[in-house]
Structure 1
Amino acid sequence: MLKFIIFVAAVAVCYGQTVDVRYTLHNKNGIVSMPGSGAIPNQFEEDAQSTIFLIHGYPGNTVTNFFQLVRNAILEHSNQNVNVIEVDWTRAAGDSYTQASNNMQSVANNLGVFMQQLYTEITNPTRTTTTTKTSTSTTETSTTETSTTETGTQPVKSGLTFHLVGFDLGAHVAGIVGRKLNRGVVRVARITGLNPGRLRSQLSMQRLTANSASYVEVIHTDTLGVLANGIGDRMGDVDFYANGGNNQPGCYSHSCCHDRAFELFAASMINPLLSGRGCNSMSQMNLNLCRGSSLRLGGIELSKDGNGIYRINTSRRFPFY
């Protein structure tokens, strides 16, 4: 699978802070560099089935693992033509979990502006496209202004159907963006929250919620105890509790259980048997007594028929057959 990589250093100023967020786009069309002006390169797949944004959490070794595992699983195993955009806010997160939490709003504002510019540029009848050809000796950039005449209402390009996948604090960033954009023209079709990170009470209003997108799915994997990384409360239209939401098979630390959320999401592109059973209550889920209808975990379809609490029991090793 060829990778189409866009690198944008997008800087926004919010609450007096400069926030550095970088975007890298992967799809099947090769490599091109994109300026920060909002111009969209010809290689962007406007007719892709969706554009998926991957948003990491508090920085650490997991940032690279999250991006690489989930991106490759989607592009190589989903059987869909999609754009995958990595949202890298490691510099904006700073040196502590508290600072990263405080900067979620600023990062969300930055991402929201980027998504609005992307939408506006593609739907604009007269748009500027850029193509960058890179070789070992020279770099050549060309800019083309394309004019089109449209009559009546045109359907929105499917590549502008947005799916946000957020891990840890990134899940809350996705939620903030979704609630902000859904008040306007640009809408978020789906958010997948991967073990959303804990927040102190002052930031509770920034938590991911079911009204952050048309469909919100949450995967809980590390929620028990004072050292747990995630939140055990229901937050989505569908909440999956993997192995009860704690003590993942093969894990001996909270960080391992935490990472299992994005590992399960990536595995869902490969393993069609990753399904949970509906639960009538959290008590039933905790007791492993769920006998409701089955619902497949993860995937990148933009909506599902399920609603409520689901428990899924998994094996120890990826892809968790």
Structure 2
Amino acid sequence: MLKLLIIFLAAVAACCGQVPNMRVSYTLFKKNNQFIGTTITESVPGIFNSTQDTIFLIHGYAGNTVVRFNQLVRDAIFDFRNPDDYNVIVVDWTLEASFSYTQARNNVGNVARNLVNFIQWLTSDPTTTTTTTTSITTTTTEQPTMTTTAQPATINVENFHFVGFDLGAHVAGIAGRILQEDSQLVGRITGLSPSGRQWGAGSERLRRDDARYVEVIHTDTFGVLANGIEDPIGDINFYANGGNNQPGCLTHSCCHDRAFELFAASMINPNLIGRGCTSNTQMNLNLCRSGELNLGGVELSKTGLNIYRINTSRRYPFY
């Protein structure tokens, strides 16, 4: 019976132009409604602005829409000290993330495909925020007449930024990979302590070529109970305090969460600066001296070395 219901709902979504597979939901936030978002269902809300960058927040294992990762990062993006506005879309895959870790890990690929379906729907929906053009016509006997014409907006995935925490980082990576099969390249992916358990080198984990620019913040990489990945899987990798034993943390969970805490802080404070490393050994020994680069932020591209070490303090703003 449940299977028939799911098939029926999928058919309804297909015929009516709704967001596919509502087991994953998408909620849009803007600066003027950063606390109460708009769930995207049958059409793109009018507050979506195609001329602004779009940031997708993708939670991890056992997460949901109101998990601390989403709230902290969203509020930092819309902080009053940041003049720019963005389309922030929270990806809620609570149901698929709430089983055992192994089952949630196995659901990552399907969630990524759902995200791709959503993006393809978003970029093709004719109700997406329109741009306007104004023309002026005149005659010899009349005053000039101004005519405003609405035109379909163009949404470019190169202006998309996926921010994924834990398993969400791999959702972002797989989605970026699938989009490339349709010649669409996401502008940036930020992996916040990407989950390491069951994500070995041969898996479909986040990779540096999944977007035009991939940044990874490592905060919990050491020990059999570590949650994160130690390998430098991004274009640029920041290892906070060597990638483990975060100041003020007594548990792996605290170290794991420090990744999104640092990322959120980076959007308000420009003083989270890493030093370039020429090797993992240099990074582990805290001997990095090869230039500096700001951690985090929301700019869509950066250039630098593959590995940076950043030493932080125990509490916000962490420098």
TM-score, normalised to structure 2's length?
Answer: 0.81
After superposition, the C-alpha distances for 1:59-94 in whole angstroms (9 at most, x for unaligned) are 159961100000000111433221111111111123
Quote the Cα distance in structure 2 between the aligned partners of 1:75 and 1:195.
23
Percent of residue pairs identical: 59
- What are the Cα deviations for residues 258-279 of structure 1, in whole angstroms up to 9, with x where unaligned? 0000000000011111010000
8 A Cα contact 1:92 1:103, kept in partner? yes
- In 2, Cα distance between equivalents of 1:309 and 1:100: 30
Q: Distance in 1 between matches of 2:66 and 2:151?
A: 43
What corresponds to 2:101 in structure 1?
Answer: 97
Given the alignment of the two structures, is residue 241 of structure 1 paired with residue 235 of structure 2, yes or no? no
Kept after mapping to 2: 8 A contact 1:69/1:263: yes
In 1, distance between residues paired with 2:221 and 2:121?
36
Computed over aligned residues only, the root mean square deviation of the Cα atoms, in angstroms, reads 2.6
User: Partner residue of 1:256?
Assistant: 254
Bigger Cα Rg: 2
Q: Offset of 1:34 from its aligned partner? A: 5.2
Contact 1:10 1:21 in 2 (8 A): no
Matched with 1:136 is none
Q: Which amino acid aligns with 1:218?
A: V
- Size of the aligned set, in residue pairs, is 281
Residue 88 (structure 2) pairs with residue 88 (structure 1) = no
Aligned partner (choices 40, 43, 53) of residue 44 of structure 2: 40
- Within 5 Å, give how 1:191-270 maps onto structure 2: 191-200=189-198, 204-270=202-268
Q: Which runs of 5+ in 2 are unaligned?
A: 1-17, 130-148
State the distance in 2 between where 1:201 and 1:159 align: 26
Distance in 1, matches of 2:65 and 2:37, equals 26
Counterpart CA distance in 2 for 1:317 and 1:256 is 12
**SS of equivalent residue, structure 1 residue 128:** coil
Structure 2: how far apart are the matches of 1:112 and 1:62? 19
Name which of 26, 30, 35 aligns with 1:27. Answer: 30
Partner of 2:10: none
**What letter is aligned with 1:262?**
F
Whole-Å separation in 2 of the counterparts to 1:285 and 1:35: 43
Aligned twin of 2:124: 120
1:56 to 41, 59, 62: 59
Contact 1:10-1:20 within 8 A present in 2 as well: no
Equivalent-residue separation in structure 1 for 2:312 and 2:230 (angstroms): 18
The answer (yes or no) to whether the contact 1:45–1:159 under 8 Å persists in 2 is no
8 Å CA contact retained: 2:58, 2:92: yes
Is 1:304 aligned to 2:302, yes or no? yes
Q: Is the 8 A contact 1:55 1:167 kept in 2?
A: yes
Q: Under a length normalisation based on structure 1, what TM-score does the superposition of the two structures give?
A: 0.81
Q: Shift in Å at residue 42 of structure 1?
A: 1.5
Q: Which runs of 5+ in 1 are unaligned?
A: 1-8, 13-18, 122-126, 131-146
